[in-house]
């Protein structure tokens, strides 16, 4: 017979808490993945999902509203160059999404961005603003301070609310802000401020508008550069899609005053759409988005030749429906359990004395919650109850 103190856990395991608890806000070190599950030239709903670095089941998902009431936004589902997601600088609870259909539906586009707010008990779209460029496809987005930047089929727009200006003229793709620099990809050889493309360009985020961006490096003719990661001063990873010769994840390194194309990693299927790089010392852990998967590879910054092109990669998430973009939640990764799962009081034994701590973590206020997170979701939820009960019943001793 089970002791009374186990009764609460068994009750919880069979109660309404068997359905997932609301999980917002986002957790630092986790990843947000954006998909556009429907292939349509008209407005398509965007879905985002939060994953732990282990890429188990999603911690939470959110289908961004694509119809009224305002604010709402959608993308072109059939496009392979939309829709970037990005966090506001140093703020883990505001996620920006590039939207081609901003507060409009059907086939009449209105470029702009939408903001997802994760600071409350559930995810909400709390802002959607056009960038004044009408029906241009909106691909890239970034934010710094009060500014929001969007990269569209016409220009790179810098705006605060509805006050906007064209920072760069020409057909822009995806964006990344590094310090005071705004990096942007384009597929055009020449047009507007982009001279010498296709490739990667940069300008200052506070440059007078319109500015003339500087060419960082030129990609091959017919290439379709989209998402990228500026991993260091001498290493940039670039996702491309377009044709068989130029699809894939490429690495560029800087040496002797020039950027050098180190080629395509062979272990990640093509085409690729976005890449996130988590850098520690001279090591970059890469997370790469394809149509159906997330791939992970661990690279050394500045490496070249077979050390890059022959690098092994692991498929860490499958089953995406039109995967498009990935962004790491700003902040430190979730803490790691020092003993073993279920040992909430850190005495290396899982027993009844751990119940109080587990229940506190379940409701969001306990200490040492990493030891109650059995499924590596970065929080203790109803999904952790059953494995915790099993550990209690067996009286597990930590190794």
Domain presence at residue 125: yes
Shared domain for 284 and 229, answered yes or no, is yes
H or E element in which residue 226 lies: strand 225-232
Q: Which residues contact 385 (CB under 8 A, 6 or more apart)?
A: 9, 12, 13, 17, 18, 362
* Number of domains into which the chain is organized: 2
Per-residue b/e over 228-264, b at no fewer than 16 CB within 10 Å?
A: bbbbbeebbbbbbbbeeebbbbbbbbbeeeebeebbb
Q: Which of 277, 305, 328 represents a domain boundary (last residue)? A: 328
Q: Return the half-sphere exposure (C-beta side, CA atoms, 13 A cut-off) of residue 125.
A: 27
pLDDT tens digits, 121-150: 899 999 999 998 888 899 999 999 999 999
Q: Can you give the CATH number for the domain in which 9 is found?
A: 1.10.1330
Which residues of the chain are under the pLDDT cut of 70?
1-23, 333-334
Which pLDDT does position 6 carry in this prediction? Answer: 56
Predicted confidence at residue 380, as pLDDT, reads: 87
Give the pLDDT score at 156: 97
Which among 388, 386, 395, 379 has a CA at the least distance from the CA of 30?
A: 379
Residues 273 and 385 in one domain: no
In order of 54, 348, 366, 371, 373, the CA distances from 361 in angstroms are 20, 18, 4, 10, 9
For 52, phi then psi, to 5°, come to -75, 165
Domain range enclosing 377: 4-21+336-394
């Amino acid at each position: 017979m089970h002791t009374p103190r186990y009764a609460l856990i068994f009750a919880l395991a069979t109660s309404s808490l068997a359905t997932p608890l609301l999980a917002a806000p986002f957790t630092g070190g986790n990843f947000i993945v954006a998909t556009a599950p429907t292939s349509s030239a008209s407005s398509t709903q965007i879905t985002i999902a939060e994953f732990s670095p282990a890429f188990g089941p999603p911690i939470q998902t959110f289908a961004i509203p694509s119809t009224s009431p305002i604010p709402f936004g959608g993308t072109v589902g059939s496009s392979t160059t939309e829709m970037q997601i990005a966090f506001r600088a140093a703020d883990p609870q505001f996620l920006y999404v590039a939207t081609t259909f901003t507060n409009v539906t059907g086939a009449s586009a209105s470029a702009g961005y939408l903001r997802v707010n994760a600071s409350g008990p559930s995810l909400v779209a709390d802002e959607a603003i056009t960038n004044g460029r009408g029906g241009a496809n909106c691909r890239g987005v970034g934010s710094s301070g009060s500014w929001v930047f969007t990269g569209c089929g016409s220009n790179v727009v810098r705006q605060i609310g509805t006050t906007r200006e064209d920072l760069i003229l020409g057909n822009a793709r995806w964006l990344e802000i590094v310090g005071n620099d705004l990096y942007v990809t384009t597929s055009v050889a020449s047009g507007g401020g982009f001279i010498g493309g296709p490739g990667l360009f940069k300008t200052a985020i506070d440059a007078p508008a319109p500015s003339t961006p500087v060419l960082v490096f030129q990609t091959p003719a017919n290439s379709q550069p989209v998402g990228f990661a500026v991993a260091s001063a001498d290493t940039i990873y670039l996702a491309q899609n377009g044709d068989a010769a130029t699809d894939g994840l490429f690495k560029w390194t800087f040496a002797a005053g020039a950027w050098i194309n180190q080629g395509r990693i062979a272990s990640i299927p093509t085409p690729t759409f976005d890449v996130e790089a988590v850098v520690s010392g001279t090591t970059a852990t890469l997370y790469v988005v394809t149509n159906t998967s997330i791939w992970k590879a661990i690279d050394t910054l500045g490496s070249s030749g077979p050390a890059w092109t022959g690098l092994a990669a692991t498929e860490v998430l499958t089953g995406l429906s039109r995967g498009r973009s990935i962004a790491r939640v700003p902040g430190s990764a979730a803490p790691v359990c020092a003993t073993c799962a279920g040992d909430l009081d850190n005495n290396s034994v899982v027993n009844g004395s751990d119940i109080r701590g587990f229940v506190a973590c379940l409701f969001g206020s306990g200490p040492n919650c990493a030891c109650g997170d059995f499924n590596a979701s970065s929080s203790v939820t109803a999904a952790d109850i059953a494995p915790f009960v099993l550990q209690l019943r067996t009286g597990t001793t930590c190794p």
